Amino acid sequence: MRHSTVTKNMSASRAVFASALVVALVGSALGLVSPAAALSTAPKSFSTSPDVVPGESGVVAVKVPAHQKGAYPLKGLKAAALIYVAPVERGFTRHIALYGTDKVPAVVGPVRSLRETDFPVLDQFGKVRVYASGRSLERDIMLNLLSRTKHILRVNSNENLREMYFAPGCVDPFCDFLKGTKIAGRGTGLSMSNANILKEAGLSTWVVPASVKSTGRSIKSMKIIYRKTPYNDRIPRTITWSASKKVWIYEASGRSATIDVVGGKSVAGQTSSASAIIQFTTAKNAGSAFTCRIMPEGGPDSVPYTNSVGKGLGFLLRDGKIYDITWSRSSSTATTSYKFKNGSKVKVTGQPWIFLVPTNLTTGSVTYANGAKVAFAPKPSTPKWSFSTNVLKERKSCEAPTAIKVSKASATSTTIKVTSNFDTLNYVPVKGVKVKVKITGKGYVTLTTSEAGTVTVKAASSKVTSATIAKQTVAGQKYAAKSWKK
* pLDDT at position 22: 27
Measure the CA–CA gap between 24 and 33, rounded to whole angstroms: 6
Residue 15 has pLDDT above 50, yes or no: no
Q: Within 13 A of 380's CA, how many CA atoms are on the CB side? A: 10
- CA dihedral in degrees (457, 458, 460, 464; nearest 10)? -40
Residue 25 has pLDDT above 80, yes or no: no
* pLDDT at position 321: 97
Residue 3 has pLDDT above 50, yes or no: no
**Digit-coded pLDDT (tens) for 127-136:** 999 999 865 5
Would you place residue 290 in the very low, low, confident or very high pLDDT band (cuts 50, 70, 90)?
very low
For 273-311, give one letter per residue: b (16+ CB within 10 A) or e.
bbbbbbbbbbbbbbbbbbbbbeeeeeeebbbbbbbbbbb
Give me the mean pLDDT over the 12-22 stretch. 33
Residue 6 has pLDDT above 60, yes or no: no
Measure the CA–CA gap between 479 and 449, rounded to whole angstroms: 13
**Digit-coded pLDDT (tens) for 73-126:** 999 999 999 999 999 887 889 999 999 999 999 999 999 988 888 989 999 999
Question: What are the residues facing 252 on neighbouring strands?
Answer: 237, 255
Q: Within 13 A of 29's CA, how many CA atoms are on the CB side? A: 0
For residue 13, the 8-state DSSP code is: H
* pLDDT at position 272: 97
pLDDT: which is higher, 173 or 297? 173
Residue 28 has pLDDT above 50, yes or no: no
Mean pLDDT of the chain: 83
User: Which segment of 140-149, 193-202, 244-253 scores lowest on mean pLDDT?
Assistant: 140-149
Percent of the chain clearing pLDDT 70 (strictly above):
79
What class does CATH assign to 398-485?
A: mainly beta
Domain boundaries, the chain: 5-383, 398-485
* pLDDT at position 158: 56
**Digit-coded pLDDT (tens) for 418-473:** 998 766 666 789 999 999 999 999 999 999 999 999 999 999 999 999 999 999 99
User: How wide is the angle at C-alpha 423 spanned by C-alphas 470 and 338, nearest 5°?
Assistant: 170
Give me the mean pLDDT over the 153-178 stretch. 84
* pLDDT at position 55: 94
Q: Are 351 and 83 in contact (CB under 8 A)?
A: yes
**Digit-coded pLDDT (tens) for 366-409:** 999 999 999 987 777 888 875 543 444 555 666 778 899 999 98
User: Which segment of 25-34, 232-241, 297-306, 450-459 scores lowest on mean pLDDT?
Assistant: 25-34
* pLDDT at position 147: 67
- Which stretch of DSSP H or E encloses residue 118? helix 118-123
CB atoms < 10 A from the CB of 22, how many?
Answer: 12
* pLDDT at position 386: 59
Measure the CA–CA gap between 220 and 397, rounded to whole angstroms: 49
pLDDT: which is higher, 261 or 158? 261
* pLDDT at position 196: 97
pLDDT: which is higher, 23 or 110? 110
Q: Which CATH number fits domain 5-383: 3.50.90.10, 3.40.50.300, 3.40.50.11540, 3.10.20.30?
A: 3.50.90.10
Candidates 21, 52, 35, 175; CA nearest to 112 is 175
Computed over its alpha carbons, how large is the radius of gyration of the chain? 24
* pLDDT at position 101: 98
Would you place residue 278 in the very low, low, confident or very high pLDDT band (cuts 50, 70, 90)?
very high
**Digit-coded pLDDT (tens) for 183-223:** 999 999 999 999 999 999 999 999 999 999 999 999 999 99
**Contacts of residue 201, Cβ cutoff 8 Å, sequence gap at least 6:** 82, 124, 125, 335, 336, 352, 354
* pLDDT at position 116: 82
